[in-house]
Chains A and B, each alone.
Chain A
Amino acid sequence: MSAARTKLVEMDEAIGVIKDGMSLTAGGFAHSHQPMALTRAIIRRGVRNLTIMGVAECWVAEYLAAAGAIGQAYMSNFMFEGFGRCRRFSEAVETGEIATEDHSHFGMICRLQAAGLGLPFMPIRAMSGTDIIERPGFEDAAAKSRRIESPFGGEAVRVVSPLKPDVAIIHAARADLDGNVQLFGATSVLEEQARAASHVIVSVEEIVSADVIRRQPELTILPGLLVDALVHLPYGAHPTGVYGYYDHDAAHLGEYYQASRDREATDGYLRRWVFEMEDHWSYLDAIGMSSLLRLRVDPALGSKLAARPS
């Protein structure tokens, strides 16, 4: 076995590939395992005019929209469970700053799958008959989806064209130096995103030995062959959670949600938690290790226990 070069790099080197105008997809969903540290670093870089190819990475989309980094969005749904709308994203669409192309969840998934499988289209049974098909956004309707006759006779079937993101940014539980990535719990759309994207950046809570990975290979969601760059970012999903490690930080998410009510407060939030943070460690220390440690999940229940006096 030849000695593989390690995939591990520093965060700034990893995100250096992301340039203005690129298309981006991000892992995670709801308040779980979204690559927030990577997103904050991308914002600090001042990257502009990104195209989001999103399924459910609401916090990534909202932060990038708040920072004015998004030009257009292929999307299914951006919404904060338990809170409400993604206000900055929504307002940017309302003012025309962000152009949208809507899909159902499965529609986006099928387009990513088509790209990952190298196929010219993917059949799908959803979306027909609705404005998702009838009222296009920025994409040419015929380039997005068609109705074709099945070559085996009988029925017409809807097909969608592939969507191939330039970059996927993903946050997961652990990986070895070869970039074999493992994740506990629900896995969002990670696999489809990693297979579809041209370049895959993964940040993880822990770097572990190859032995640890090889003892439980069924937990490996992305083998190293799909990973281009690996970054060690403990608490890299904060303020979202990572199943098996820590719960989402509801108070901090609420703080953002409140701030997103208006432009000025949003800018204040971004200044405090993104722009004034020199690096990931500064961010974690601004949150405070004591706060982060209190987010840990119970090993049996999977979620954090109710707060106790400490």
Chain B
Amino acid sequence: MTESLDVTRDELMAVAASREIRDGDLAFIGTGLPMVAAYLAKATHAPNVKLMFESGIIDPKPRELASGVGDYRLALGSPKIAGMAYALSLLQGGRVDLGFLGTAEIDAYGNLNSTVIGPYRHPKVRLAGSGGANDIASMAGRFVIIARLDRRRFVEKLSYLTTPGFLTGPGAREAAGLPGGGPARVITDLAVLGFDPASKRMRIEELFAGVTAAEVQERCGFELMKAPGIAESALPTANQLDLLRRVIDPDGIYLKP
């Protein structure tokens, strides 16, 4: 009876993102929709996922949704709280299966920009900088990007390449000595995108209900490939929506109407 469910874009993205978490993963989680997606996965199909945060908080049991990875509410129930070097060195040691990242700009190879718009030395806009993003993208087993589709975000050429997707294409990550597997999926508000195994270029893999491939392409600033069989992305279940709305983010901190 999914037609009667009134689902928001953020909810679609959170649910689609949560599906990317495999039970038993050690997942590096950032603020925002990734946190919502992670707790949804933990409450449903991935009860054994261990969540880790760049602040050095490992496997906590927060009672409330935190406003960030440094939020003291997040630390509740954690068996191990350390510092940033601890968390990031576990990442470099190959322990982390999955990371979630947001971004200001993304290109066809899943490379990300969170540093500058415009030239590096006199930028038009100075953004936050890499933070843990480059580390996660370089060294996690795989990573997933969560970003709304927008021609200004999905660009042909990044102003600055902060965070490595597949860099220039096949073999480039290996040549650069990056140990992690690279980007696996891009969760947008219209579709779930992935990467063509041969060319490493971004492609449409699943469409949300009522969305066409043409609409997706329209909102993207580069040419998207298409996976051989594009599926319709499963709608959130009533249980997932209930968990999101009543338990995980009842105040709508990250899930906007």
A, B from the same assembly: yes
* Contact for B75 among A113, A135, A157, A185, CB less than 8 A: A185
Is A247 among interface residues, defined by CB-CB distance under 8 A? yes
Stretch from B5-13, B52-60, B142-150 that touches the partner: B52-60
For the complex, give the distance between the alpha carbons of A132 and B160 in Å.
9
Shortest beta-carbon distance, B5 to chain A, in Å?
Answer: 29
Residues of chain B with a CB closer than 8 A to A55's CB: 84
Residue of A nearest to B175 (CB): A129
Is B91 among interface residues, defined by CB-CB distance under 8 A? yes
Q: Contacts A30-B69, A75-B129 hold; do A125 and B82 have CB atoms under 8 A apart?
A: no
Is A94 among interface residues, defined by CB-CB distance under 8 A? yes
Contact in complex: A81, B67 (CB < 8 Å) = yes
Is A49 among interface residues, defined by CB-CB distance under 8 A? no
Shortest beta-carbon distance, B80 to chain A, in Å?
Answer: 10
Contact in complex: A125, B132 (CB < 8 Å) = no
Q: Contacts A56-B131, A76-B129, A94-B123 hold; do A131 and B85 have CB atoms under 8 A apart?
A: no
Contact in complex: B70, A127 (CB < 8 Å) = no
CB 8 Å contact bits of B76-98 with A (1 = contact, 0 = none): 10000111110011011000000
Residues of chain A with a CB closer than 8 A to B161's CB: 130-131, 134
Contact in complex: B121, A76 (CB < 8 Å) = no
- Tier of interface size on chain A: 35 or more
Stretch from A188-196, A204-212, A273-281 that touches the partner: A188-196
* Contact for B134 among A75, A126, A186, CB less than 8 A: A126
Residue of B nearest to A54 (CB): B129
Residue of B nearest to A155 (CB): B177
* Contact for B121 among A105, A128, A137, A190, CB less than 8 A: A137
Contact in complex: A77, B131 (CB < 8 Å) = yes
Q: Contacts A55-B84, A109-B84 hold; do A131 and B115 have CB atoms under 8 A apart?
A: yes
Is A96 among interface residues, defined by CB-CB distance under 8 A? yes
Contact in complex: B82, A187 (CB < 8 Å) = yes
* Contact for A102 among B84, B130, B178, CB less than 8 A: B130
CB 8 Å contact bits of A18-46 with B (1 = contact, 0 = none): 00000000000111100000000000000
Q: Which of B111-143 contact A (CB under 8 A)?
A: 111, 114-115, 120-135, 138-139
Is A48 among interface residues, defined by CB-CB distance under 8 A? no
Residues of chain B with a CB closer than 8 A to A190's CB: 83
CB 8 Å contact bits of A141-152 with B (1 = contact, 0 = none): 000000100000
Is B167 among interface residues, defined by CB-CB distance under 8 A? yes
For the complex, give the distance between the alpha carbons of A78 and B69 in Å.
14
Contact in complex: B178, A104 (CB < 8 Å) = no
Q: Contacts A105-B88, A185-B75, A297-B72 hold; do A126 and B138 have CB atoms under 8 A apart?
A: yes
Is A302 among interface residues, defined by CB-CB distance under 8 A? yes
Residues of chain A with a CB closer than 8 A to B131's CB: 56, 76-77, 79, 104-105
Contact in complex: B75, A191 (CB < 8 Å) = no
CB 8 Å contact bits of A75-96 with B (1 = contact, 0 = none): 1111101100110011101101
Residues of chain B with a CB closer than 8 A to A134's CB: 161
Shortest beta-carbon distance, A262 to chain B, in Å?
Answer: 16
Q: Contacts A126-B92, A157-B177, A247-B72 hold; do A29 and B128 have CB atoms under 8 A apart?
A: no
For the complex, give the distance between the alpha carbons of A134 and B67 in Å.
34
Is A158 among interface residues, defined by CB-CB distance under 8 A? yes
Contact in complex: A128, B72 (CB < 8 Å) = no
Residue of B nearest to A241 (CB): B72
Is B71 among interface residues, defined by CB-CB distance under 8 A? yes
Residue of A nearest to B114 (CB): A77
Residues of chain B with a CB closer than 8 A to A82's CB: 31, 67-68, 71
Q: Can you add 19 more A-B contacts, CB < 8 Å, to A105-B54, A126-B178, A129-B178? A: A29-B70, A31-B71, A77-B128, A77-B130, A81-B68, A82-B31, A82-B68, A91-B126, A102-B162, A104-B133, A129-B173, A129-B176, A130-B111, A130-B134, A130-B161, A137-B120, A147-B177, A187-B81, A189-B84
Of all A-B residue pairs in the complex, the 5 with the closest CB atoms, nearest first, are: A30-B70, A81-B68, A77-B131, A129-B176, A79-B128
The 27 listed contacts between A and B (C-beta, < 8 Å) are A56-B131, A75-B129, A79-B128, A91-B126, A99-B121, A104-B131, A105-B131, A107-B135, A113-B85, A127-B134, A127-B138, A128-B138, A128-B177, A129-B173, A129-B176, A130-B134, A130-B161, A130-B163, A131-B120, A185-B72, A186-B70, A188-B56, A188-B84, A189-B83, A189-B84, A190-B83, A243-B72
Q: List chain B positions with a Cβ less than 8 A from chain A.
A: 31, 54-57, 63, 67-73, 75-76, 81-85, 88-89, 91-92, 111, 114-115, 120-135, 138-139, 160-164, 167, 172-173, 175-179
